[in-house]
Amino acid sequence: MANQPMVENPATGSRPAEQGETPGVHSGWPVFCLDDPTPVGNVHSPSGHSTREGFLTVSGGRWRRVVRRVPFEAVLSTAEGRVQLRIPRTAFLDQPHYLPDQEVVVSVWESFRDFRPFRYPRTASVTVTCRDGVVTLSGHVAHEGHRMEAVRCAGKADGVSAVSDLMISDEHLVSSVTQSFLAYPGLQPSLVRVSARLGTVGLEGELASEELIGVASSMASGVAGVKGLENRLHLAV
């Protein structure tokens, strides 16, 4: 019970929260950290999806208002019109800023603004979505390095609490398709040239039979992440 948040009971005072229970918190309640007698802010959004989804939003800042997401696990108690956190002030200040999901998406795209490969449609086709601060990046990029840099940029964007990476690079597709051919002697890399452009795989070369051309087409199309196939294989003469 020592690690459970406490909730206010009008009859008996504070008590440990039951599993999955939303603590009784009201907008405007001051929020205190473990090592600081002065409040770090006030409860911004105590009701609705935020506490049920596992976080509390706290508004603070002397000169500029900043809203932060505080995980429910960091709440020690909620009683007598105040929220007591179990984390120190420095840990509170490290909590991610809160923004509405649509604004988080805008923030992520802003983080890509100086990332040159994402300026051109030839090198990336990426979709950004967000739910409760968790950003999902999906689509295709040209290189593995572009994918990793996109994840890094998104993770630093304002309002992002976590990044889910569902992007696939053309480099990865070329490797995966080539690997899928290795079990067939007639589809070795010396016979089939594999390329990819934002999810569309190209096959070129001369093969010994129509059957092998069909096998190559089927295997390439079945690789996860392939959204299209340009089969330019033909019979050897």
Determine which of 66-70, 152-156, 180-184, 230-234 has the lowest per-residue pLDDT on average.
Answer: 66-70
CATH (domain of 107):
3.30.1340.30
pLDDT at 131 over 60: yes
Looking at 150, 168, 186, which one is the last position of a domain? 168
- For 177-225, write each residue's pLDDT tens digit: 999 999 999 999 999 999 999 999 999 999 999 999 999 999 999 999 9
Rounded Cα distance between 219 and 178, Å, is 10
Is 49 found in the same domain as 120? Answer: no
Per DSSP, 158 falls in state T
CATH number at residue 27: 2.30.30
Task: List the domain range (segments joined by +) for residue 116.
Answer: 101-168
Would 124 be classed as within a structural domain? yes
Average pLDDT value for the chain? 84
> Domain check: are 138 and 59 in the same one?
no
Q: Do both 139 and 187 map to the same domain? A: no
In a domain, 1, yes or no: no
Closest Cα to residue 70, out of 49, 51, 47, 90? 51
Note whether 129 and 153 are same-domain residues: yes
Last residue of a domain, one of 113, 133, 168: 168
Which one of 153, 168, 183 terminates a domain? 168
Beta carbons of 83 and 43 less than 8 angstroms apart? yes
Both 144 and 159 in one domain: the answer is yes
Q: Are residues 16 and 83 in the same domain?
A: yes
Contact by Cβ (8 Å): 5, 72: yes
Question: For the chain, how many structural domains are there in total?
Answer: 3
CA-wise closest residue to 112 among 161, 146, 66: 146
Distance of CA 164 to the CA centre of its chain: 3
Whether residue 118 contacts residue 112, with contact meaning beta carbons closer than 8 Å, is answered with yes
Residue type, 79: A
Domain-located, residue 57: yes
In 3D space, the residue among 86, 92, 95, 89 whose CA is nearest the CA of residue 6 turns out to be: 86
12 with 75, same domain: the answer is yes
pTM, rounded to two decimals = 0.67
